[in-house]
Every structure is written in C-alpha cells, then in structure tokens.
Amino acid sequence: MKVVIIGGVAAGTKVGAKLKRENPQDEVVIYTKGSDISYAGCGLPYYIGGTIEEEEELIVNTPKKFSALTGVQVHTNSEVVSVDKLAKTIVVNAEEKIEVSYDKLVIASGAESFVPPVEGTSLQGVFKVRTPKDAIDTRKYIDERGCKRAVVIGGGFIGLEVAENLVQKGLSVTVVDMASQLMPNIFDKEMADYVRRELQKKGVRIMTSTELKGISGTVVATGVETGAGMIPADIVMMAVGIRPATQFLNDTGIEMFKGTILTDQYHRTNVEDIYAVGDCALVTNRITGERQWSAMGSTANIAGRQLALNLSGEQSEYAGCLGTGVVHLFEGLNGARTGLTEEQAAAAGFDVVSVVSVINDKAHYYPDADSFIVKMIADKASHRLLGIQVIGSGAVDKMADIAVTGISMKAKVEDFITMDFAYAPPFSTAIHPFAAACGILLNKMEGKFDSFTPAEYAAGKAKDYRMIDAHPAPTIAGVEWFDLLHSEEAAKKYNKDEKLLLVCAKGKRGYLIQNRLRSYGFTNVKVLEGGKYFNVLKKTIPAGKKLPATEIKRVKGLGCLQDKRYDNIFNVRVITKNGKITTKEHHIVAEAAEQFGSGEITMTTRLTLEIQGVPYENIEPLIAFLNENGLETGGTGSLVRPVVSCKGTTCQYGLIDTFGISEKIHERFYKGYHDVTLPHKFKIAVGGCPNNCVKPNLNDLGIIGQRMPMFDLSKCRGCKNCQVVNNCPVHATSLENGKLYVDTQACNDCGRCANKCPFGVSAEYQNGYKIYIGGRWGKKVAHGQALDKLFTSEEEVLDTVERAILLFRNEGITGERFADTVNRLGFEYVQDKLLHAQIDKDTILKKVVKGGATC
Ligand SMILES: Cc1cc2nc3c(=O)[nH]c(=O)nc-3n(C[C@H](O)[C@H](O)[C@H](O)COP(=O)(O)OP(=O)(O)OC[C@H]3O[C@@H](n4cnc5c(N)ncnc54)[C@H](O)[C@@H]3O)c2cc1C
Ligand code: SF4
Ligand code: SF4
Ligand code: SF4
C-alpha cells in the first residue's frame, strides 16, 4: 500500500513513523512545503527569548535522519498544489507539476499564521511565530537592531508566551487584543483577569478590547495603530491566530468548515481513502460531541498515531478532545485548563455550578510551597465534572491531567475525593489539592458552603452586602474585622438577617466563620471565593450607607477626605499647627487611629497627619475625641491652609524663630480666617534661611529668614586666606585686587559670613525676613517673587501676610491661585498694594467670595 502524507511536522511525521512501525512493507511518502520537518513549534517563543539557545535545538529531526530512522520517504520543499480524488493522485509543486499516485492520502498540512488585512504587515520588523525561520528571524532582528519596545498582537497562549520571552530579553512589551479578556475560550474571564494582573505586575502592558488598525512605518515598523491610539514599537509580533492550510483542497469536494477539514472518529474525510489529522482538521469535543478545532501539538500527535493504527488495519475510534492546554507565562505563573469553561458549559446546556478555590499546592511548610488557584466547573444535577482551570507556580499540568482522566471517564466531583493520590511534602498535600478543590465544590453543591464566585462579585452581586474582614488579624483597610477566636462576642455586632460578606485571605477562614455564624442563627452570610488573594476588592457599600455628594463635601470641609477606593471610608487630617506636636499629641493621634481608623497614619507633604481608613460613622466620634484632646481636623477648602515651617528655630543655619512665627500665622490666619473664603486655597510656608528646605518660594506666600551683612570694606586688609570668601556657600564674594569684592546680586543674605572677618569687615548685619509671593507647586509650578524689602520685624511680616490674603480675597477670581492673580494684576501693582496701599479690611471681609479649590 502506498500512503502519501501532505505535511511533515507534528501530525504528518507521527502518522508516517507509526505506520512504518506497524506496517513496514507499506510505502509511506511525505511531501512537505518547507525545508524542515518535525520541528518544535511549541519551542519557538523560547528560542526568541534565548532559553533555547541554538537553532538546531528547534529541529527534532532532519529529513535525512527521520527517513533513516523510520523508513518514511521525505520530500521537502515540495508543496502539494492539487488532489485528484478520482485518479487518486496529487500534484507536487506548481512549476514542475510532479504527479504522484496514492492508495491512501493523509492530509496533515496544518495551519498558517493569520495575518489580519491591515496596512503595514509586510514592513520590516513585523514577525509571525509559526516556523523555526520566524523565530530565528525575530531573534536576529531584535539583537541586530537593539529593539527596546515590542507590541504583541494577540493575547492567546502563543502571544503571551512570546510576550514573556520578549520581557526576558529585556524589551518593554505591550500586548494588544481585540477580545475583552486575555486567552478567550481558554480561561473564563475572572481567571484571565487574574493572569492579566500578574502580567501587568511583571511590567507587561495589556490592552484588551483594542482593535488593530495597522502598523505604522515606511520601511521598518515603528508603531502599531490601534483603536486606542498609536503604540510605538521597534518590533511587532503577530499572534492573532491561525488559519488551516487547506486552500489547495478547495476543488476536491472534501467537506470543510471555514477551511478546516471535517473528519469522523476514524479521521476519515468524506472522500474515500483521504484522511486528515492535525491543525488542518476538525475533531469532536469529548463532552459535548460538537465539532471542535483543537489546533494543538498534543491532538496532532494523538490523532496522527491513531490514524496510523487505523491505516494499518485497526479500528480505533477517536474519543474526542477536551481542549487541554498548559502554558508557562512567567516565572511563578503557569496556567492549565481542560474541559469546558463555565461559559462553554452553559452554552452547551449544562446547569453549571463552579467554584474558585485557592489551595496549597504542596505541604505549606515545604520551602517552595505555593497556591493553586483552581476553578472547577460541574453539572449541578449530575455532579459530573466538566472542566478545570488552574493557575499557580507549581505543577498545574498535574491538576489538569487528573481532570482529563476524570472527565474522560465521566467522573462525578465526589468520585475524586477519596481517590488515593500520591502525597509527600515536596509534591502535594495530604488531601490532594485536586481532591480539596472537589471537596469545596461539593460543599457548595450541597449548600454547606454559600459563596459568591469572583465573577459574581466582580459583576456587583455583593453590592448590598456588608464586607467583613475574616483574616486572622485586621487586614482590609476600613473593613470591620471578625475575630474568629472570640466569635460569639464578634457576632453580636451584627443582625442575624444582615447581609454579610466574609472576605479572608483565600476563602477557607471565611468558610469557617460562615459555619460558626450559621450555628448562631445567621441566615444571610456569604463567603467571597478566592478571598483577597484572587479578587480585586471593591468599595464596600453596606446597605443604605452610600453617601450623598453634599455629605461627602461637608465632611471634606472638616478635613475628612474620601478614600477613593471606598464610598464610606475617609482619611482624616489632623492639623499640626507648624508640623510640631508634643508626644502627648502623638499618643492621642495614634490612639485615635487605632480606635476610629485602620490603625495607620500617613504624613502629608505639608506636615499634617492623616488618620487612615476611618469609616464614615466614626468621623464625628473621632473629631470629638481629637477636640477633647486639643487637636483639630481640617486643612481643606478655599481657605488659608495650615502653615508649613522648617525647623529653623533649632537648625544650625536658622536665622529666625520659625516655630514662633508660624504658630502666630496659624493662630491669626489659619484659625482667625477660618470662615473667610478665598478664591482658592492659600498656602504659606516659613523657612529659617535661604536653604529653602520647605520651599517657601513655591507657596502662595513664603517667608524666609535673612541675615544681611553690612560690609565695611574700608577695614579690609586683603588677607591671603579670606574667611568671608571661605564661608560664603554661593561664592558671592571674592578677592579682587587684594580686597574683598561682594557680588550683591549673588548674595542671598544667608549671613554665614557674619563676623567671620577678624578685622570686622562683616561684623555688622541686619536680621530680617524676605517675603515671596505667587509661588505654587503641583501640576503648574511657579516660583514666587520676593518683595523688594527686608522685613525686620515679625509684626511687619504678619501684617504683610494679612494684606496678601485680603488682596487675594478682594482681587482674585474664583478658581485662580494667588500666582495667577499676581500675574494678572502685575507684580509691581501687587507689591505696591502689599507695601504701601491702604487696605479696607472690614469691607473686604464682608464681600461674598466663592471658593474654587478642588482639593
Ligand atoms: C509558537 C507555538 C507554540 C505552540 N505551543 C504548543 C504547545 O505548547 N502545546 C501544544 O500542544 N501545541 C502547541 N502549538 C501548536 C502545535 O505546534 C501545532 O498544533 C502543531 O504543530 C500542529 O501540527 P500539524 O502537523 O498539524 O501542522 P503544522 O505544524 O502546521 O505542519 C504542517 C506542515 O504542512 C506543511 N504544508 C502546508 N500546506 C502544504 C501543502 N500544500 N503541501 C505540502 N506541505 C504543506 C506546512 O508547511 C507545515 O510544515 C504551538 C504552536 C506554535 C506556533
Ligand atoms: S531652611 Fe535653613 S533653617 Fe530651615 S531647616 Fe533648612 S537649613 Fe535649617
Ligand atoms: S574681608 Fe577680612 S578676612 Fe577677608 S580679606 Fe578682607 S580683612 Fe581679610
Ligand atoms: S550673606 Fe551669605 S551669600 Fe552673602 S556674602 Fe555672606 S555668606 Fe555669601
């Protein structure tokens, strides 16, 4: 018998080799288009990344070696261009038109990368990943051009493997996919979203629901045009999918669906003596019996082997595929799946139940122990296991393979629970993780475990539930903690019919607390599957607690700023006057944070303290507690903000009493002007010397301590080693013609040279203050400008501060910062007003002003 095989990679070589082993007398001939056969397509991404170092390692067998080993004749660079089913011949190569006859014809022509019909795909730097040449060319291009930025089009298994390898090579990578999730049809969305978050943590930028519009560049690719904008790229990897390589069969009458060959369970096509296996053929799904395209090396090999047996005379039926797959995404991130996803199972008509569990992958004390995230899908009525998806750093394939075995044998979830799986600490857990996951699913099916799946939670099903922190110690900011060790006491805080959502680390402790609460008569307690480990926790909105905007604004005026992650959690600002508080006040703030907040305190850049994670209902008691102890909250709105001061009073360079003056500013303008609305916030800072540690000149008004030397140059003796010059940090002084020379423009009046001259040249100086106006920091930076005057008394300074505030209130426009007012009115005009003009305080204070501060 002469068997001709079209295509010589996974399926074709498997059919040929096995058939020759079964029936050595058969003549088996492979015609394949490329120059390589039997290559490791699955290893291509790892060649790009460098894990597989040498090109040769990608080639499993050369044609010569393969022929010698198997007895199969191989013709490479031989493209089959047509098939004549009546004459039972094929034609090889369009030019030479070599006619070859067959008794049996096996089509194993596989698939080709799909290249979307957009502009720019033929530019240099755009690569596919299907053949060894693709991978070799890609690596060479990256190395030769020193590529830094890559865009991978397609977020399936292959796209992500390529992304990982490009990251390994040091490129910054963006993955673009048209679908709304990564790995569609492979993982359900919540599992894919977990992978997405993990990949993002590794620095991969992921853009889903993003359409590819084209590749930009003239000769070489320079970027990718997408529905979400242009992404610059030095290299573009196409991994959008594959298309069956079957165009040459179009006139043969071989039945196909979208170009993929229909076969029966013996891999026969509808045409006698013509068979098809591998990526060019459709198989059936073992669970649903529906046709499925299983473009996998595993399926190609299994089907190829079986076809060989059938060709040699056996009658071996292909039982169907399960879509099993396993992928290494990054160090510590493997994924595996088999069977139906939840979506596919529902579409196939099953009454689906699923659970996501996070379980130990081996004995928890063993050094590299980690977790498996397992999603199990079953049929509610029959308990039949339908599918599994697993993510973890360990042997996820083991979990998938157990499921493959069970699903193939139509096992029920409970069948696995008592199976005698292997256990030793380095490998597994005493109750095998697979059995543990089955136990959780069974509990759920039997109503012993009542939960929200992560998908339900993400869809907002728990929005009326009050979240309870079920960790061993308080962990979720702003969420009430349930102490399992004192559960009776802890349970008293809640009504027995209240909707409670227990969230622990992975789900287990939540289950224990649920059990306990149920035994106390609670009726509405749910557990969040996968806990904090798997879910992105959203705002907790206890029923009826969503706050109106007016209330949020009101408490903001009290210094309570909403934590953007939650609707009813706030960070409360405690005013520290000038950044200096006593130990007693420290204790009070700490106690307040512990009693009313999450126990955390942050320092703002303007030296106020923020008590974190204060639930709305704790705001009033917290403020009352602070007030009782002489502390206050605030520091928001279109008002004079708390003053910021450096430690100049105690600093070796400090020239003024910064604490003293800032305390006066606090009393007179923060407190005294507390009800005086301004066009915007007004920030003041006091620095002890021109070193500017608190950046006074980047405030609406800044005060800087000064010491202005009064040089008496007549006393200068022109010493070789001048101490005035030596001590000047800004080199404003020098010796010119043997005498001291002072560049007064450069001198910033730091006073370091004061008294440094042994002959009294710098013995006299004047202490004072410089005032800067119109500075600001933030998204629009402006440097304040100094008023042309050395202020010599605190009173003068305070008076000028007041004039500035009043001028701003009187002449500023709602929404503009003082910097804008100064710019609009002109510095000279403002300076004149601050230094000389009469200001009618009473009239200005009576004026109605609308504030424009948003933060
Ligand atoms: C990057 C990558 C990673 C992968 N990773 C995995 C994995 O981890 N696990 C897994 O199971 N699978 C994986 N796969 C899929 C696996 O490689 C394919 O399923 C498998 O190669 C299919 O084998 P095949 O023989 O059917 O087709 P192919 O490998 O496509 O081979 C078909 C051959 O036929 C030739 N041919 C086509 N038309 C003609 C013609 N008219 N005349 C003559 N010759 C023709 C082609 O040139 C080709 O050489 C991966 C694939 C890629 C590209
Ligand atoms: S600005 Fe001057 S006085 Fe203030 S802390 Fe800095 S060095 Fe010390
Ligand atoms: S300023 Fe004083 S120290 Fe400097 S050169 Fe003159 S006399 Fe000498
Ligand atoms: S005051 Fe400061 S900056 Fe000016 S000359 Fe003396 S040391 Fe130099």
pLDDT beyond 80 at 40: no
Going from the C-alpha of 689 to that of each of 467, 644, 646, 795, the distances in angstroms are: 51, 14, 9, 19
- Apex CA 448: angle with CA 444 and CA 451, to 5°? 50
- High-pLDDT (> 90) share of the chain, %: 88
| The token pair that represents 97 in the structure block | 């038109």
The number of the ligand 1 atom at minimal distance from the alpha carbon of 242 is 53
- Supply the residue whose CA is at minimum distance from atom 7 of ligand 1: 42
| The token pair that represents 144 in the structure block | 């030769």
- Identify the CA nearest to 305 among candidates 12, 95, 37, 565: 12
- Mean pLDDT score, 229-237: 96
- Identify the CA nearest to 830 among candidates 700, 667, 686: 700
| The token pair that represents 713 in the structure block | 């140059």
DSSP element (H, E) containing 820? helix 818-825
Start-end of H helices in 5-49: 10-22, 44-49
718 Cα–ligand 3 center, Å: 5
- High-pLDDT (> 70) share of the chain, %: 99
761 Cα–ligand 3 center, Å: 7
Cα(88)–Cα(4) distance, integer angstroms:
10
pLDDT beyond 50 at 544: no
pLDDT of residue 2: 97
- Identify the CA nearest to 143 among candidates 175, 173, 122, 171: 171
pLDDT of residue 21: 97
pLDDT of residue 107: 98
Three-state DSSP state, 31: strand
* DSSP for 466-528, written as a single string: EEEE-SSS--STTS-B--GGGHHHHHTTS-TTS-EEEE-SSSHHHHHHHHHHHHTT---EEEE
Going from the C-alpha of 826 to that of each of 246, 669, 772, the distances in angstroms are: 77, 25, 14
| Ligand lying nearest the CA atom of residue 728 | 4
Q: How many CB atoms lie within 10 A of CB 270?
A: 13
Strands 765-773, 739-742: pairing is unpaired
| The token pair that represents 11 in the structure block | 């399926």
- Apex CA 780: angle with CA 775 and CA 786, to 5°? 15
- Mean pLDDT score, 63-89: 96
Answer whether 278 contacts ligand 1 (Cβ < 6 A): yes
Cα(547)–Cα(778) distance, integer angstroms:
29
> In this predicted model, what pLDDT tens digit does every residue of 734-768 receive, in sequence order?
999 989 999 999 999 999 999 999 999 999 999 99
Cα(451)–Cα(357) distance, integer angstroms:
11
- Identify the CA nearest to 76 among candidates 125, 131, 114: 131
Three-state DSSP state, 174: strand
The number of the ligand 3 atom at minimal distance from the alpha carbon of 757 is 2
110 Cα–ligand 1 center, Å: 5
> In this predicted model, what pLDDT tens digit does every residue of 607-659 receive, in sequence order?
889 999 998 989 999 999 999 999 999 988 999 999 999 999 999 999 999 99
588 Cα–ligand 2 center, Å: 29
> In this predicted model, what pLDDT tens digit does every residue of 315-367 receive, in sequence order?
999 999 999 999 998 888 999 999 999 999 999 999 999 999 999 999 999 99
Answer whether 718 contacts ligand 3 (Cβ < 6 A): yes
Lowest mean pLDDT among 259-268, 477-486, 500-509, 832-841: 477-486
> In this predicted model, what pLDDT tens digit does every residue of 788-831 receive, in sequence order?
999 999 999 999 999 999 999 999 999 999 999 999 999 999 99
Answer whether 336 contacts ligand 1 (Cβ < 6 A): no
- Supply the residue whose CA is at minimum distance from atom 7 of ligand 4: 728
Bridge partners, 776 (sequence order): 782
Lowest mean pLDDT among 72-76, 594-598, 733-737: 594-598
Three-state DSSP state, 682: strand
- Supply the residue whose CA is at minimum distance from atom 6 of ligand 3: 716
pLDDT of residue 545: 62
Which residues surround ligand 2 with Cβ inside 6 Å? 646-648, 651, 653-654, 687-689, 691-693
Bridge partners, 242 (sequence order): 113
717 contact partners, CB below 8 Å, separation of at least 6: 759
| The token pair that represents 150 in the structure block | 């890559």
| Ligand lying nearest the CA atom of residue 11 | 1
- Mean pLDDT score, 264-273: 97
Answer whether 501 contacts ligand 3 (Cβ < 6 A): no
308 Cα–ligand 4 center, Å: 94
Answer whether 579 contacts ligand 4 (Cβ < 6 A): no
Bridge partners, 126 (sequence order): 236
7 Cα–ligand 1 center, Å: 9
The number of the ligand 2 atom at minimal distance from the alpha carbon of 648 is 3
| Ligand lying nearest the CA atom of residue 90 | 1
**Which residues in 165-193 are b (16+ Cβ under 10 Å) and which e?**
bbbbbebbbbbbbbbebbbbebbbbbbbb
- Mean pLDDT score, 375-389: 97
pLDDT beyond 50 at 147: yes
The average confidence (pLDDT) of the chain is: 94
The number of the ligand 2 atom at minimal distance from the alpha carbon of 647 is 5
DSSP element (H, E) containing 194? helix 189-201
pLDDT of residue 566: 82
pLDDT beyond 90 at 855: no
175 Cα–ligand 2 center, Å: 49
pLDDT of residue 533: 96
pTM: 0.72
| Ligand lying nearest the CA atom of residue 702 | 2
pLDDT tier for residue 543 given thresholds of 50, 70 and 90? very low
Answer whether 822 contacts ligand 3 (Cβ < 6 A): no
What's the Rg (C-alpha) of the chain?
A: 38
- Mean pLDDT score, 110-129: 95
Answer whether 397 contacts ligand 4 (Cβ < 6 A): no
- Identify the CA nearest to 818 among candidates 854, 770, 769, 777: 777
Answer whether 723 contacts ligand 4 (Cβ < 6 A): no
pLDDT beyond 80 at 39: no
pLDDT tier for residue 38 given thresholds of 50, 70 and 90? confident
| The token pair that represents 707 in the structure block | 């010491």
Cα(552)–Cα(561) distance, integer angstroms:
8
Overall size of the chain counted in residues: 855
Q: How many CB atoms lie within 10 A of CB 265?
A: 15
Answer whether 722 contacts ligand 3 (Cβ < 6 A): yes
Answer whether 761 contacts ligand 3 (Cβ < 6 A): yes
- Supply the residue whose CA is at minimum distance from atom 2 of ligand 4: 750
Bridge partners, 337 (sequence order): 325, 389
Answer whether 742 contacts ligand 3 (Cβ < 6 A): no
Cα(506)–Cα(436) distance, integer angstroms:
13
> In this predicted model, what pLDDT tens digit does every residue of 653-686 receive, in sequence order?
999 999 999 999 999 999 999 999 999 999 999 9
- Mean pLDDT score, 75-95: 96
pLDDT tier for residue 422 given thresholds of 50, 70 and 90? very high
DSSP element (H, E) containing 799? helix 794-811
607 Cα–ligand 4 center, Å: 30
pLDDT beyond 80 at 145: yes
> In this predicted model, what pLDDT tens digit does every residue of 478-515 receive, in sequence order?
788 999 999 999 999 999 999 999 999 999 999 999 99
pLDDT beyond 80 at 542: no
pLDDT beyond 50 at 277: yes
pLDDT beyond 80 at 477: no
- Supply the residue whose CA is at minimum distance from atom 8 of ligand 3: 719
pLDDT beyond 90 at 31: yes
832 Cα–ligand 2 center, Å: 29
Start-end of H helices in 323-432: 342-347, 396-408
Strands 256-257, 229-232: pairing is unpaired
- Amino acid identity of 641? R
pLDDT beyond 80 at 411: yes
746 Cα–ligand 3 center, Å: 19
The number of the ligand 2 atom at minimal distance from the alpha carbon of 651 is 8
Answer whether 728 contacts ligand 3 (Cβ < 6 A): no
